[in-house]
Amino acid sequence: MKLTFFRQGYANNSSSSHSIIFSNTNLESYDDDTNEFGWNYWTASTKKSKHLYFLICLYGSWQSCVELEAKSDMLDSDRLDDFQLEAFLDWVSEKKISNVKLTKQQKKDLAELITTGYVDHQSVFHFPCCRNIDAGLNVDFINFWFTEIAKPEYAILGGNDNGGDPDSHQCHSYDEREQGKIVKMLYRHFNYSGPKDNICVYDYKTKEFVISSRHNGNIIKFEAELQ
């Protein structure tokens, strides 16, 4: 008996393969200062760039979990997009995602970056919901993630699997693979998930996150201190 073909998951027409690395070397000088996180090679290594990457992902997760006021049904598509983005940024500010309460100017600047930017659909990170799906996204996990990923040891690398040398990214050699493994494992897990696929609970007694898939039975449990 010989296996001749195996595919896990669906095939699609995109080939981006974003990844997170953990490095003892400061990689901020490699940052490409972009809001277009596509299938090409790029580096997001500053706090600003990493937070923008995950804010764009968070906006997609938020849209999947939140029902806006009925008046949104009365808006045309362009005005609806503006209405949704404004509501999202108000929510980010209210929840103090990444421990920041946004000013009016910061909201305006972020709205422009999110509107004109994107994360390639094959590499989008889907944030987990609360145990009660109707309660929306798990803010404890979101704040943990934004605080952790802001640390200078982490960088996000753009790339693709269209062929060529898989080690061709300028920062590939800086990855100390045995470190930062929890964050990299979580990134891989949520990258292969869809909206509302995962629920998350934080146990304040044991100081542990418990994340479980609603579809395949996968469970991830790890200790983390909330800020």
Distances (CA, A) of 204 to 47, 144, 162: 27, 13, 44
Spans of all domains in the chain: 19-193
- How would residue 66 be classed by pLDDT, with cut points 50, 70 and 90? confident
pLDDT digits 0-9 by tens, 139-180: 999 999 999 999 999 999 998 877 656 566 778 788 887 778
Question: Rounded CA gap, 168 and 151, in Å?
Answer: 24
pLDDT digits 0-9 by tens, 89-98: 999 999 988 7
Do residues 65 and 195 touch, judged by C-beta distance below 8 A?
Answer: yes
pLDDT confidence of residue 105: 93
Q: pTM of the entire structure? A: 0.87
pLDDT confidence of residue 171: 83
Indicate whether 2 pLDDT > 60.
no
Please enumerate in sequence order all residues whose Cβ is within 8 A of that of 132, keeping only pairs 6 or more positions apart, or say none.
none
Indicate whether 70 pLDDT > 50.
no
Residues 14-39: b if buried by 16+ CB within 10 A, e if exposed: eebbbbbbbbeeebeebbbebbebbb
Indicate whether 10 pLDDT > 70.
no
Residue among 226, 191, 193, 190 at smallest CA distance from 208 = 226
Do residues 56 and 208 touch, judged by C-beta distance below 8 A?
Answer: no
pLDDT digits 0-9 by tens, 173-219: 888 877 788 898 898 888 878 888 999 999 999 999 999 998 888 89
pLDDT confidence of residue 195: 83
pLDDT confidence of residue 170: 78
Distances (CA, A) of 88 to 53, 57, 58, 78, 156: 15, 12, 9, 16, 24
